[in-house]
Chain A
Amino acid sequence: MSVWNAHQKNRGARKDRAAALGLERQVPAGRIADLLHAVIEPGDRVCMEGNNQKQADFLARALAAVDVARIHDLHLVQSVVALPEHIALFDKGIARELDFSFSGPQGTRMAALVNAGKIRINAIHTYLELFARYFVDLTPKVALIAAEAADRDGNLYTGPNTEDTPAIVEATAFKNGIVIAQVNELRDSLPRVDVPGGWVDYVVVAPKPNYIEPLFTRDPAQISEIQVLMAMMVIKGIYAEYGVRSLNHGIGFDTAAIELLLPTYAAELGLKGKICTHWALNPHPALIPAIEAGFVESVHSFGSELGMEAYIAARPDIFFTGADGSMRSNRAFCQAAGHYACDLFIGSTLQIDLAGNSSTATKGRIAGFGGAPNMGADARGRRHESPAWVKAGEEARQGRDIMPRGRKLVVQMVETFREHMEPAFVERLDAWELGAAMGLANPPVMIYGDDVTHIVTEEGIANLLPCRDAAEREQAIRGVAGYTAVGLGRDKAKVEELRGRGIIRRPEDMGVSRRRANRDLLAARTVKDLVLASGGLYNPPSRFRNW
């Protein structure tokens, strides 16, 4: 006779073991180790909620302190590996396998653990891809999540940093898994319910509020004149040309410069209301001046940003805020929005090769990609039209008699040399070696060359859409690669021909004055300027306060 509810029974057995220890829904912080030992089994697939911003840090510390004789060989499935405790799980043998998206600051330690054979990375995903797999072949058995508050029934309020929580809980709770939430406080009533109590098995009040990383705060004081110059080119040579209204900006100073030029340079060009009206974007403090200038109509966010809470709550026409006044973010929906509903993605990278493939994976560092591969890819399932999407498609077609279709604009923005004179353009990506070290069949490419439409450097813009063949693309890329070896290796005559055809454009070809590439053009030059622009509503973390 077939058994159809083995997983349900297993879930019951785990909860019975906890009950036998006297552990019901409300678990005291001091007994978290008992709970984890009771409900986690060796080899379990575990999601340890690590987001870009919010971290289930109390639960991460507790898991890193379990008895490795009882809990070991776990398979971690989580978007971000950000905390030292996440890495410690592998060092101690508590976890062995990993499926993730982004590791950022832990990238170097992760590479060392791969070399030591202590961690097996199955794949680096985009966020949406990992969430999708939660519902197919990577469903968590146990999810350890973080929320702002819970009530007596286990209902959860996430506050503005909702992030991955809804996706994780939905997959776990509806496939016989166990959901454990750390919260900052218990309240009699919640401002709103983000996760229904019926989907949550255990709630523990953490001794300290969960950690939130201010990942998207960029101090305007650190924006360089080169970044101002590149931002001017992007606004005039791409945003204005295509009429880009819906978009996503990557993280970094390059794109922060664009945000800070909207109320000045873009306004002067008469572009208010014509570009950058609808965003899939974390609440970047650098966007405050553009919002205040009336450039922005709508912003949906993946997560929140520390210090932006009061400003967001005071701008409900712009941000997605609940009846309680605070924002609800949702990484899965925002990633879908960035993929399907935005005309343009622009972001930076560490290496670009001669075909336009780019990667942030460099020797000795496995940083992951976050959302970039999802944002920075043509949405082949898209059908709705917009002027920018149609124009990009026409350029790619070049009058050929093939089925007309639109194209997403995918822009890579880099200075030709990074710090320490590391070239951003290379003949061969480090990703090849890294992929081999990780045992992958293919190198971990962040954005594939055939998805990239434009490359912007201080030397100009290369529009790859009208390039006729691979050789022409290569020269278009070399033609903006500056004094790197790749740039110096250009065919000068061919590059001039491409310039004549508008495939390569220099600042002067676009009417962008190098002399005006000055920090005075930024709508805010310091974090304090951002606070002033917000009318005092933006409350930056102390590390960004230097006044």
Chain B
Amino acid sequence: MEQLTFELASTGQPLKREPVLVGVVGSGNCEVLIEGAGEAGSCRFTIHTSAVGFSPIWQAVLTDFSERRAAGGLRIEVNDVGATPAVVSLRLDQALEAWEAREGAGDAP
């Protein structure tokens, strides 16, 4: 196991909402947890990965995601279960779409 952390610039503001979890680690499925209340203008990623030595690929995947989406103010945790970048990207998009669809008490910045 390797743990990687990245702090990447992204648009968006911190929001207080119930966290979102997509994917199920128990079924061999890449798991993504999104929580709000981070720093504005950046997104903090924590990656638990079973494949060692792919930090540059993670950096590229997450940088693209942060540039593509408004993920500022989010803390995102990924348990990859050896998932390919394709699966991780898809899961991040799905998790963020679920987060954006969630109505939260703290929506007003």
Q: Which residues of A contact B (CB under 8 A)?
A: 224-226, 229, 415-417, 421, 457-459, 482-483, 488, 514-515, 517
Contact status B94-A515, CB under 8 Å = yes
Q: Which residue of A lies closest to B89 (CB)?
A: A458
Q: Which residues of B contact A (CB under 8 A)?
A: 51, 54, 57, 60-61, 84-87, 89-90, 93-94, 97
With A and B bound together, what is the CA distance between A229 and B90 in angstroms? 9
Residues of chain B within 8 A (CB-CB) of A421 are: 51, 54, 84
Select A483's contact among B85, B93, B94, B97, beta carbons within 8 Å: B85
Closest A-B pairs by Cβ, 6 of them: A458-B86, A417-B84, A483-B85, A226-B86, A483-B57, A514-B93
Contact status A483-B90, CB under 8 Å = no
Residues of chain B within 8 A (CB-CB) of A459 are: 86
Residues of chain A within 8 A (CB-CB) of B89 are: 458
With A and B bound together, what is the CA distance between A483 and B84 in angstroms? 10
Instruction: Classify the secondary structure of B's interface with A.
Output: helix
With A and B bound together, what is the CA distance between A457 and B84 in angstroms? 13
Select A225's contact among B57, B61, B87, beta carbons within 8 Å: B87
Residues of chain B within 8 A (CB-CB) of A488 are: 60
Residues of chain A within 8 A (CB-CB) of B54 are: 421
With A and B bound together, what is the CA distance between A457 and B86 in angstroms? 9
Contact status B61-A483, CB under 8 Å = yes
With A and B bound together, what is the CA distance between A515 and B94 in angstroms? 6
Q: Which residue of B lies closest to A488 (CB)?
A: B60
Residues of chain A within 8 A (CB-CB) of B90 are: 225-226, 229, 458, 514, 517
A and B contact pairs by CB, cutoff 8 A, 21 listed = A226-B86, A229-B90, A415-B84, A416-B84, A417-B85, A417-B86, A421-B51, A421-B54, A421-B84, A457-B86, A458-B86, A458-B89, A459-B86, A482-B85, A482-B86, A483-B57, A483-B85, A514-B94, A515-B93, A515-B94, A517-B90
* Centre residue among B60, B86, B90 by max chain A CB count within 10 A: B86
Residues of chain A within 8 A (CB-CB) of B97 are: 514-515
With A and B bound together, what is the CA distance between A226 and B87 in angstroms? 6
With A and B bound together, what is the CA distance between A402 and B105 in angstroms? 65
With A and B bound together, what is the CA distance between A415 and B90 in angstroms? 12
With A and B bound together, what is the CA distance between A416 and B97 in angstroms? 24
Residues of chain B within 8 A (CB-CB) of A415 are: 84, 86
With A and B bound together, what is the CA distance between A517 and B89 in angstroms? 12
With A and B bound together, what is the CA distance between A229 and B89 in angstroms? 12
With A and B bound together, what is the CA distance between A459 and B68 in angstroms? 14
With A and B bound together, what is the CA distance between A415 and B61 in angstroms? 15
Residues of chain A within 8 A (CB-CB) of B51 are: 421
With A and B bound together, what is the CA distance between A457 and B89 in angstroms? 13
With A and B bound together, what is the CA distance between A416 and B87 in angstroms? 11
How many whole Å from A370's CB to the nearest CB in chain B? 26
Contact status A483-B87, CB under 8 Å = no
How many whole Å from A525's CB to the nearest CB in chain B? 13
Q: Which residue of B lies closest to A418 (CB)?
A: B84
With A and B bound together, what is the CA distance between A517 and B94 in angstroms? 9
How many whole Å from A177's CB to the nearest CB in chain B? 50
With A and B bound together, what is the CA distance between A515 and B90 in angstroms? 8
* Centre residue among A224, A415, A483, A517 by max chain B CB count within 10 A: A483
Q: Which residue of A lies closest to B51 (CB)?
A: A421
Residues of chain A within 8 A (CB-CB) of B87 are: 224-226
Q: Which residue of B lies closest to A416 (CB)?
A: B86
Residues of chain B within 8 A (CB-CB) of A225 are: 87, 90
With A and B bound together, what is the CA distance between A224 and B91 in angstroms? 12
With A and B bound together, what is the CA distance between A225 and B87 in angstroms? 8
Residues of chain B within 8 A (CB-CB) of A458 are: 86, 89-90
How many whole Å from A285's CB to the nearest CB in chain B? 23
How many whole Å from A348's CB to the nearest CB in chain B? 14
How many whole Å from B95's CB to the nearest CB in chain A? 10
How many whole Å from B61's CB to the nearest CB in chain A? 6
With A and B bound together, what is the CA distance between A127 and B87 in angstroms? 35
With A and B bound together, what is the CA distance between A224 and B81 in angstroms? 14
With A and B bound together, what is the CA distance between A458 and B54 in angstroms? 19
Residues of chain B within 8 A (CB-CB) of A457 are: 86
Q: Which residue of A lies closest to B87 (CB)?
A: A226
